[in-house]
Amino acid sequence: MLIESNHAQVAVGPILELKTVTKSFGGFIAVNNVNLALERKPVYGIIGPNGAGKTTLFHLLSGFLNPSQGQMLFHGQDITHLPPEQVARRGLVRSFQITSIFSHLTVLNNIVLSIQRRQTGGTRLFAKSDWRDEYLGEANNLLDEVGIPPSLRESPANDLPYGLKRAVELGISLAAQPEVLLLDEPTAGMSLQDIGRTTELIARLSKERMVVVVEHNLGVIADLADEIIVMQQGSILTRGKYQDVKVDPRVIEAYLGKRH
Ligand X SMILES: Nc1ncnc2c1ncn2[C@@H]1O[C@H](COP(=O)(O)OP(=O)(O)O)[C@@H](O)[C@H]1O
Residues at the contact surface with Mg ion, assessed by CB under 5 A: 54-55
Helix intervals (H) in 183-248: 192-205, 218-224, 242-245
CB of residue 68 to ligand X, shortest distance in Å: 12
Shortest gap between Cβ of 127 and Mg ion (angstroms)?
36
Q: Which is nearer to ligand X, 27 or 149 (CB)?
A: 27
Nearest distance from residue 184's CB to ligand X, in Å?
Answer: 7
Question: Is the C-alpha dihedral spanning 247, 248, 249, 250 positive or negative?
Answer: negative
Nearest CA to 214 among 193, 194, 230, 190? 230
CA end-to-end distance (rounded Å), the chain: 59
Q: Considering CB distances under 5 to 8 angstroms, the limit depending on partner class, which of Mg ion, ligand X, none binds residue 25?
A: ligand X
Nearer to ligand X, 61 or 143 (CB): 61
Residue 53 binding result from Mg ion, ligand X, none, given CB thresholds of 5 to 8 Å by partner type: ligand X
State the Cα–Cα distance between residues 6 and 11, nearest whole angstrom: 9
Instruction: Choose between 52 and 93: whose C-beta lies nearer to Mg ion.
Output: 52
CB of 57 to ligand X, least distance (A): 7
CB of 170 to ligand X, least distance (A): 19
- Measured from the CB atom, the residue of 52 and 175 that comes closer to Mg ion is 52
Choose the contact partner of 213 out of Mg ion, ligand X, none; CB within 5 to 8 A by kind.
Answer: none
* Residues found near ligand X in the complex (CB under 6 A): 25, 28, 30, 48, 50-56
Nearer to ligand X among residue 25 and residue 126 (C-beta): 25
Q: Is 167 exposed, middle or buried (0-12, 13-18, 19+ CB in 10 A)?
A: buried
Q: Which does 63 bind (CB under 5 to 8 A by kind): ligand X, Mg ion, none?
A: none
Q: Helices (H) and strands (E) in the chain — how many of each?
A: 10, 10
What is the C-alpha separation between 114 and 231, in angstroms, rounded?
A: 32
Closest CA relative to residue 189, chosen from 166, 205, 159, 219: 166
214: β partners: 46, 184
**What minimum distance in Å lies between the beta carbon of 163 and ligand X?**
22
User: Which of 55, 110 has the CB closer to Mg ion?
Assistant: 55
What φ, ψ does residue 22 adopt, rounded to 5°?
-130, 140
DSSP 50-78: TTSSHHHHHHHHTTSS--SEEEEEETTEE
Which of ligand X, Mg ion, none lies near 162, with the C-beta cut-off 5 to 8 A by kind?
Answer: none
User: Closest residue to Mg ion, Cβ-based?
Assistant: 55
